[in-house]
Structure 1
């Protein structure tokens, strides 16, 4: 259960909760960059990133 978060956390010496925040920050940074430049540098939509953020926040709170 939640293998990816645990695996990544173990590999880089952080907690699974911190790994979740790293994943969230990746999306937030991309969204900020898109807003700043007015360009999208990924095929991932804003809606998709927002849904991922909701999912990560839910996992973080669990």
Structure 2
């Protein structure tokens, strides 16, 4: 059961932690912190774009 949980939730949890770090760094300071926040907040967008442009899985032929 635990293995199944981590198999499903590993990537979403990592994306959530990265996003939270980006939001906190945006609030903490300027210059380097702003660059860090832009970098970390763009990661989930890049993941979304990757799967939107090139989806995985098999597509069934419509008859």
TM-score, normalization: structure 1?
A: 0.44
Greater C-alpha radius of gyration: 2
Q: With CA pairs under 8 Å and 6+ residues apart, which has the higher RCO, 1 or 2?
A: 1
